[in-house]
Amino acid sequence: MGISGKYYSTGCSVSSGLLPICFCFSFIICFSNSIDIISHTQYIKDPESIVSAGSQFRLGFFSPTNSTDRYPLNDSSGTVMIDSNGNLVVLNGRKKVIWSTNVSNTAKSSIAQLSNSGNLILKNGNNNETVWESFLHPSDTFLPTMRLGTALKTGEKQLLTSWEDDSLPLIGRYSASIVPLDIPQIFIWNGSSPHWRSGPWNNRIFIGVPDMHSVYLDGFNLEANPKEGSAYLTFSYVSKPDFMRFVLNSQGKLVEYRWNKRKNDWFVHWSVPNTECDVYGKCGPFGSCNAADSPICSCLKGFTPKSTEEWSMGNWSSGCERRTQLQCQRNSSNGEKEKADGFLALKMMKVPDFADWSAADHEKQCKEQCLNNCSCIAYAFDDNIGCMSWSRNLIDLQKFSNGGVDLYIRLAHSELAGRNDPKAITTTVVLVVVVVIGTTIMAVFIYFLLRWMATQRGKKKKKRVLLGEASKELSDIDMLEDRIKQGKSIDLPFFYLEELAIATNNFDAANKLGVGGFGSVYKGKLWGGQEIAVKKLSKSSGQGLEEFKNEVVLISKLQHRNLVRLLGCCTHGEEKMLIYEYMANKSLDALLFDPAKRTLLDWKKRFHIIEGVGRGLLYLHRDSRLKIIHRDLKASNILLDKEMNPKISDFGMARIFGGSQDEENTKRVVGTYGYMSPEYAMEGRFSEKSDVFSYGVLLLEIVSGRRNSSFYLHPDPSNLLGHAWKLWNEEKIWELIDPILGERSSQVEILRCIHVGLLCVQEFAKDRPTMSNIVSMLSCEISTLPAPKQPGFIERQISSDGDSSQNNRSVCSLNSISITMTEGR
């Protein structure tokens, strides 16, 4: 017998003895007049079934995949019914009970109902009380709203149990559940031996699972009660219907399956264990496993193989042993005070098993606790967990390529100094020689460089460079440092004006890359050959000292592959310059809106740009150490490197938000008409949803190949947003797509981008998605998108205080120059 459900595959729940009740989850196309209950008078016989109210799950009879066996029924005459005691039973052809819920607090009028979550619930007919449910007897499959866990006090356990093999639903060797220690973990067991471990739960993720992130949107939740010795794990859909399930297969792998609607089939999204290093204790005590190394196992620094012979044969289970005893564990024989033990930091590690927990506010406090306890041989700190320490053998250590935490191993001082390590001594000697030779070469190089610079300055003293005299440069750099004080320092080089003048050939017009409301951008080449872009702000630019200072301070603190890299800055009198890495393909608008060059942007490149800009904004809004609202996102501020990787630029108008701040008001509205959100342009309110609006406009421009403002010269008076909305409502949205994008195979992806773009430009900020949701929508992690509501700025205008000539001013201009609107007093 089985429960089959929409988009789900086979699983089995063993409730007692050797008689399993099996749950099969498969696609249901359509059901009408479905019945979801079994009662004393209403039962099912093979091949009949019942269907949940939402047509998601079906309860019936099945044979395992690739098998004709109908274990434990040997024919097709099975029956599922409510017996005279009110229990749910399975009968064979001879009316013999082969399985029963076997609970006592039932009544003859009991009913069994199949819920839309796949839970089969037996209810007492007298008081409607639930007396039994299948979700409390898990099989090999973990579904949303189920829970896994253990309560030591009551002995209650909900664990996954594998099949014996893929076609035989007997109890297999493997099981999985939560172990309710001080810090709960998921374990997969091979019989009674641990097979895999998730690492501790930190209230967001299991820190031993590098692929698990809070943006993963799996909806995991863990409820732990250390006093009661209980811990339960659940998960739910973040966005329905995003169908997924976890299965513990017969090989001991925990596999996450997700439904592919296009192929109408399941695909493996994630699984563990994946490599040999994932297997519990692969390298033994004090051994660390790294799947990227060969061999995969190595001893920690300060430790040697316990059995060299076994290690040479690839058997690492015996592990390693300490080479030098810790100072706190031995007495000095000569009466001299030995140097204290220290800690070696290991980065991106899966922490060992058997951690002890203690409260700590920061890593230093955790270190002090461990240092003051001689039995403590290692510690690690996590902001959401606190202090973890170890006093027994370190087992199940693994080095990750990303994720994990910093683990600190206690070693004798001599091991930290490397005195007993011949390799370390050799390395030290080599380093000393290299440093001495390198210093000598550098000194000679600096001497000749200074002589060359002095010669160049002597020549330049007799004439002015284009922007001022070289003698004032140093004082101007000091002036900027004074202006960017306020207790903050910036890790950013200052360039000499003369150096930039030489690099750009005195800002020759032939080197001009572009011009905007802020001034001009020039291509240059530094003395060492590095290509740069120099943004020279004009004196009449609306981007004054505050914006200049804002960009210098902000971008110097940001590091992301989709943000432009600021190499330095320069000031000279009233002149201000910013020096960026050179972008070979210039700005996005230079390609996208040029009929001749637009053909260079096929859909693959455009989608790469859409995703990259989205990731850059997500970093600004959530993942950087500062929460930043850009306020001027547009095509001309997206730069493209030689590989067409997008880089967000121009942070002069950006604002930093506090940790809990969601919105801010301003009387000084800055940005670009056509990209500004309604609430910002009309009321001065801006938030991360303002950037989302700008991103939506940009997304629609990329798909259509047309500027938002271009529609103002169109017979249809609406802008690009209004045009897209009109086509959406007329179900002609494909007409928005740039005709040169002929890739029919990508049409579904293109239409999805348009859908996301319309969600971003909805009139009200509360309706727009966050950047984390947008990134998930574009990557199909969120598979079903809500219907968009009307965009902002459809036949709307904004008015401002002042004379009538300024009223009813259109919110979009015919160009894309950044503007500043200052409210009068």
Helix/strand/coil for 314: coil
Helix/strand/coil for 121: strand
For 624-672, the three-class secondary structure string (H helix, E strand, C coil) is CCCEEECCCCCHHHEEECCCCCEEECCCCCCEEECCCCCEEECCEEEEC
* 536 annotated to a ligand binding site: yes
Res 353 pLDDT > 70: yes
Q: What is the mean pLDDT of residues 118-144?
A: 91
Each residue of 159-175: pLDDT tens digit? 999 999 888 888 999 99
pLDDT tier at 700 (50, 70, 90 boundaries)?
very high
- For residue 576, the one-letter residue type is K
Q: What is the pLDDT of residue 487?
A: 37
**Selected residue with higher pLDDT from 66 and 13:** 66
Half-sphere exposure of 793 (CA within 13 A, CB side): 31
Judge if pTM exceeds 0.75: no
Q: What is the pLDDT of residue 815?
A: 38
| Range with lowest mean pLDDT among 253-257, 347-351, 365-369, 451-455 | 451-455
**Selected residue with higher pLDDT from 296 and 150:** 296
The catalytic residues are: 632
Q: What is the pLDDT of residue 811?
A: 36
Q: What is the pLDDT of residue 602?
A: 93
Res 261 pLDDT > 90: no
Q: What is the pLDDT of residue 9?
A: 36
Each residue of 506-537: pLDDT tens digit? 889 899 988 765 778 999 998 778 899 998 88
Each residue of 623-677: pLDDT tens digit? 887 788 998 999 999 999 999 999 998 887 888 886 556 667 766 667 787 889 9
Each residue of 729-744: pLDDT tens digit? 998 998 999 998 876 6
pLDDT tier at 819 (50, 70, 90 boundaries)?
very low
Q: What is the pLDDT of residue 660?
A: 59
d(CA 380, CA 345): 9
| Range with lowest mean pLDDT among 19-28, 137-146, 538-547, 721-730 | 19-28
Q: What is the pLDDT of residue 13?
A: 40
d(CA 589, CA 32): 53
Each residue of 202-221: pLDDT tens digit? 888 899 998 875 434 457 88
Each residue of 224-250: pLDDT tens digit? 887 777 889 988 765 555 678 899 999
Q: What is the mean pLDDT of residues 776-786?
A: 85
Half-sphere exposure of 608 (CA within 13 A, CB side): 14
What Rg do the C-alpha atoms of the chain give, in angstroms? 34
Each residue of 44-103: pLDDT tens digit? 998 889 999 888 888 988 777 666 555 577 777 889 999 988 999 999 888 899 999 999
Phi–psi pair at 26, nearest 5 degrees: -140, 170
Q: What is the pLDDT of residue 29?
A: 35
Q: What is the pLDDT of residue 742?
A: 75
- 639's tokens: 């730069």
How many angstroms separate the Cα of 396 from the Cα of each of 193, 290, 308, 489, 584? 13, 11, 20, 42, 48
Q: What is the mean pLDDT of residues 599-617?
A: 95
Q: Element (H or E) spanning 521, and its range? A: strand 519-525
Kindly report the number of other CB atoms within 10 A of residue 260's CB atom: 15
Q: What is the pLDDT of residue 220?
A: 82
345: burial class by Cβ within 10 Å (0-12, 13-18, 19+)? exposed
d(CA 534, CA 540): 17
Q: What is the pLDDT of residue 625?
A: 75
- 717's tokens: 């008076």
Q: What is the mean pLDDT of the chain?
A: 80
